[in-house]
Every structure is written in structure tokens, then in C-alpha cells.
Amino acid sequence: MKLSAGEPRSVDLNDLREYLDKLVRDKETETFLGSVMTTKGLFILLFSHRYNEEHALIVPGTDAPRILARVYETLAGSKKGTSP
Amino acid sequence: MIEAELTCEGDILKTAKIKRGFEERPLWKRLERLKPNEMIGWVDRFDSLCPIASEWALAQALESSMDLEIPKRTQFVRSLLNELNRLVWLATYLGQVTDTLGQRTITQQVLVLREKVFVIQEEITGGRILPQALTIGGCRRDFAMGDVQKVRQFLDGWRGQWKAWLELVSDDPLLEARLKNLMVVDASLVEKLGWWGIVGKASGVTYDSRKHRPHGAYPFIEFNIFSRQGGDAQARFHVALDEVGGTLSLLDQLLTKIPSSIDARVQAKPLQPGLFFGTAESAKGPVIAAVEVTGQEVVSSLRLFAAGQRVWPILDHLFQGMRTEDFQLAFASLGVGAEESEI
């Protein structure tokens, strides 16, 4: 079994808001599934019910709380998304 | 048992702060220092009511890194163990709801049923609560000769007692009245939080990784996903009842269709670098494992994701404005009880 996430895309923290906004707008994600710190940065797993697909990204950096705050903010601020 | 600070105004709940215990645990750091097979055994501690799904999700992620193909019989054995283990969570859930309603006898009876699952789980895996049953490429013990028959006998007895229990709670007007319209969780919140499992299914969101991310023997078995539309405690309770029936039927099919020839043991291969995932459906929803492997076969990051982690941070808000006397029942009906220790 493999998730459909595929290779995670690397997204810079400065571009994260714009990137997530677009994903939510295109209904490619609305759900934050979880995150884990990796050697390449913070790995974030998202999910779209519409497409039944996971979406994986890596945000370089070690400041996980700041990155996650940006993710939550963006998902909460978008029309379809929200966050814990 | 839950501990919560409630602020009330008359009969109405103004704020609820549910205490959950420690938010950080050393489980992940501990796991990252172990060998792959040891990791799978230890990850049981992620959630003691859903240990097989936790093991299975992690095993899949690690096997994916090793590019292993799992033999069909092993897939059946894993699925059988998972379905048996789902009964533990479901019986616990039903027990929590009936206990909150003050139905002590009914609660004891469903916990007796749970106890029987623990006993068969121990007989088959050697572990009563934390079975540590899976290994890389297989299971610690394949089903020995006679185990299929043993599980069949267990099912025959269990099904009879379950039927008797079901008659006690089915169409009970008091129970239905208490649960109806209580703590409605709408489908959009379910989707936003990935709050799958019985909560999602009770709100009409039918995501189930056994269907949507087919794993184990599930692609070889026919089964339906149960769902309701109400999204309230009553719908969740009925989905849980349906799920027990569904699991019993799945177990029957798995026992009938399990290949009889024992597979050769799959040999572990070196871990390849990259990010790998696995998922397995527990009764409370899918458990997802994410593993990062770096050079020299080192697992540098490892995490399991489940709905509880996403739901707990917003849980307190859900109770605002409800009748104080409904708090405990509403909480129990969500299935995020104190036993859930996932972090």
C-alpha cells in the first residue's frame, strides 16, 4: 500500500501561504493530517477529500511551531479549509 | 474516567477544559533508536486500543522502504488480527457510552465481550493488550495449525453473546432519546479535521482506508462501509453497532478465504533512503505512518498520525453551549476517551 502523496514538494516558508492558498482554492486540500521534522525540514501531510489524495510538502527550516502556525493560519483563513 | 474543568451558567456549559495528561512523550525518540522489527513491536504504545493498526501502518512504511512484497497469506493473517483488534476498540467505545448512561449491567456485559477478544488475541499472538504481532515482511507467529478453527469457534460464541447484548440496547427508547441530536458533528468539520472513523461515518463521510487505500487482504474481500447522516451521538452509536457486525462478517470471509499454504518467511532488505508511508484502518479511523530513512539505513524521523491528534486541540470548543448534564455522554460518544494515548 502506498499513499498517493508521492515525493514531497519543497516549499519555502515565505511562499507557503501563497502555495497553500492555491491548493485550497483548487480544492486540492482542506485537511491537515500531520507533520514531522525531517532532515530536510518540516514534512507536512495534507489531504483532499474531493480527489481522495494526500499532498506532501517539506518546508525547509527547523522552526516547526512557526511553520505550523503559518499552515494553520492559511488553512483557517481560506474559505474551505481550517485547522486544529 | 475523564477530568475536566467546566464553567456553567445555569444549566448551560460556558466553557469546558478537558485534561488530557502529558502532551509530550519520548515514544518517538525511543523508536528512532530501535531496529525496524523492534520499532514495530514498540509502536503498540501509540494507542493501546488500536495496537495492530499502529504496527501495521509502520510495518507498511518500513516495508515500502525495503521494497518488500508481502505474501497473500500474511496479508490475510494481518487483516484477521486487525479485525479482531477492532472489536476491542468498538467494545470499549460502546462500554463508555453505556457506562455514561448509568447502564452498569449492559456495560459489564460488553466489557465481558471485550475480555473474550483479549483472550483470543493473547492465544494467537502471545500479547493480551499490546500484541506486538507484526514483523518486517510478516507476523511474529503465523496462524498455527488449528488457529483458524480456534478463531472460528471464538466467533461462534462471541456472535451469540453479541446478539444477546444487541437486543438489550436495540430500540431502547431511553437510550435513543438521550443520544438523539446530541453533539452533532457536521460533515464539513469532519472533512476539515480528517475526523474519520465512526465520527466521520456517522456524519456521512465514508472515508475508510480499507477501501480508499486498499491494504492487506481487504482487496480480496467484499464489504460495505457503514454510514449515517445525522452526525449526532445516536448516529455514532449505531455506526459502532454496525461496525461490529461488519467486522464479524469480515472475519468470517477472511477465515474462509485465507490461503492454506504457509508462506516462506520474507527476508528483510536494506532500508532505502527517502520518505515512506503506510496506513491501516483501526476502528477509530486510519492510522498513518510517515518514516524518513537516511543513508546507512538510519530511520531519522518517524511519526504516526491519527484523528485524535487533530481533534483534541479543538475539542473544548465543541461543548460550549450544550446542557451541562449532557457533557459526559457527549464526550463519550466522540470516542476520544482517556485510553487514547496517541501523541
In one-letter notation, the amino acid at residue B309 is Q
Mean pLDDT of chain B: 92
- A43 neighbors B288 (Cβ within 8 angstroms): no
pTM, entire model? 0.93
Task: Identify the pLDDT of residue A84.
Answer: 46
User: Which residue among A1, A33, A83 places its CB closest to the CB of B213?
Assistant: A1
Banded pLDDT at A83 (limits 50, 70, 90): very low
Q: How far apart are CA B62 and CA B289, in angstroms?
A: 9
In tens, the pLDDT along B81-98 reads: 999 999 999 999 999 999
User: Which residues from A are below 8 Å from B294, CB to CB?
Assistant: 39
Q: Which candidate in B191, B203, B208, B304 is best for mutational testing of the A interface (most A CBs within 10 A)?
A: B191
Query: Any CB–CB contact under 8 A between B255 and chain A?
Result: no
Task: Report whether pLDDT(B342) > 70.
Answer: no
Closest A-chain CA to B210: A1
C-alpha cell at B262: 504457509
In tens, the pLDDT along A24-57 reads: 888 888 899 999 999 999 999 999 988 888 899 9
What does DSSP say about strands A41-48 and B3-9: parallel, antiparallel, or unpaired?
unpaired
Banded pLDDT at B306 (limits 50, 70, 90): very high
User: Which residue among B277, B310, B314 places its CB closest to the CB of A5?
Assistant: B277
User: Which residue among A36, A43, A47 places its CB closest to the CB of B194?
Assistant: A47
| CA distances to B65, B136, B137, B291, B299 from B270, in Å | 8, 11, 13, 15, 12
| CA distances to B93, B165, B166, B238 from B106, in Å | 13, 7, 10, 16
Q: Given an 8 Å threshold on Cβ–Cβ distance, is B279 in contact with A1?
A: yes
Helices (H), chain B: 27-32, 36-42, 51-66, 72-100, 104-125, 147-169, 173-179, 187-193, 198-202, 209-212, 233-257, 307-318, 327-334
Sign of CA dihedral B158, B159, B160, B165: positive
Q: How far apart are CA B42 and CA B30, in angstroms?
A: 9
Task: Identify the pLDDT of residue B29.
Answer: 84
In one-letter notation, the amino acid at residue B82 is N
Query: Any CB–CB contact under 8 A between B309 and chain A?
Result: yes
In tens, the pLDDT along B21-76 reads: 665 668 888 888 899 999 999 999 888 899 999 999 999 999 999 999 999 999 99
Closest B-chain CA to A9: B275
Banded pLDDT at B326 (limits 50, 70, 90): very high
In one-letter notation, the amino acid at residue B247 is T
Question: CA of A14, closest CA in chain B: separation in Å?
Answer: 24
Please state the separation of Cα B42 from the chain's center in Å. 17
Banded pLDDT at B343 (limits 50, 70, 90): very low
DSSP B258-277: --SSPPPPPPP-PPPSEEEE
Burial state string for B190-213 with b = 16 or more CB within 10 A and e = fewer than 16: bbbbbbbbbbbbbbebebbbbeeb
User: Which residues from A are below 8 Å from B293, CB to CB?
Assistant: none
| CA distances to B8, B315, B318 from B15, in Å | 7, 11, 9
**Please, is B270 exposed, middle or buried when counting C-beta atoms within 10 Å of its C-beta (0-12, 13-18, 19+)?**
exposed
Q: Which candidate in B193, B312, B316 is best for mutational testing of the A interface (most A CBs within 10 A)?
A: B193
Rounded to two decimals, the ipTM of the complex is 0.86
User: Which residues from B are below 8 Å from A83, CB to CB?
Assistant: 192
Query: Any CB–CB contact under 8 A between B278 and chain A?
Result: yes
